[in-house]
Copies of this chain bind each other. A is one copy, B any other.
Amino acid sequence: MNATPLSSTDRTRLGRLSERGLTDRASLYEVLDGGLICHLGVVVNGSPRVIPTGYGRDGDTLYIHGSTGARSLIAGRDQEICVTITHLDGLVLARSMFHHSMNYRSAIIYGTPRPVTDPDEKLAALRAVSEQLAPGQWDVVRQPTRKELAATTVLALSLEEASVKVRNAPPSDDDEDYALDVWAGVVPVHQVFGTPIPDPNLRPGIPVPPHVTDRPNPTHATP
């Protein structure tokens, strides 16, 4: 297990329940690499805006992309953004309402993103975003044209300032509540892929490729 510590700025040092915080880089990579979408936070006219979007990782850089017209990406330029990736792993049902909780793995990354303008990095970034969402697709589909690349904004966010938080445990009730006649435990929550649905306009005779059919479900954690 790689134990390079994550940053410890005031906001990534966890305020509450700090026993749930993990501080090694390998845990950060694990949470990021297992996700499908992130929630991007930007400030627009002083107010927060939170948008779901795809992302990819290359080393210690997170990439997000969008249309050059996307307001969330324009707002993110030259100012701090926040990217959060969350895996909901379970509902924690306790004997008391107060101790109900969730099992989850989450990563929060802060930073001022850098617009990616170098053509090689832009292509590599889009590949990383593509591989995150649909591994194997990049190699079999039509590549982006110069015009398509020009219509795409890519932002690079350093993973320097990040925190990881994990809860993966049974309920934790007050001592006296363990005597109650109430069921307690964890209901796991999993994300699974369904059977691929061919495009109604698919040319006949093209089978679903193995990298799609053989893709494992997203990882999940059980206590």
Contact = CB atoms under 8 A, between A and B. Distances in A.
A2 interface: no
Nearest to A15: B71
Among A141, A152, A178, A192, max chain B CB count under 10 A is at A141
A119 interface: no
Interface string A170-196: 110000011111111111111111111
A137 B47 contact: no
Interface in A7-48: 11, 15-16, 36-37, 39-44, 46-48
A5 interface: no
Interface in A156-212: 170-171, 177-203, 206-209, 212
Contacts of A98: 142, 144-145, 148, 152
B100 A182 contact: no
Contacts of A49: 11, 41, 48, 82, 108, 110
A37 B102 contact: yes
A152 B16 CA distance: 13
In which size bucket is the chain A interface? 35 or more
A128 to B, nearest CB: 12
Interface of A: 11, 15-16, 36-37, 39-44, 46-52, 54, 67, 69-71, 80-84, 86, 88, 90-91, 93-98, 100, 102, 104, 106, 108, 110, 126, 130, 133-134, 137-138, 140-145, 148, 152, 170-171, 177-203, 206-209, 212, 215, 222-223
Given A90-B197, A183-B207, 5 more contacts: A36-B88, A41-B41, A100-B133, A187-B212, A188-B194
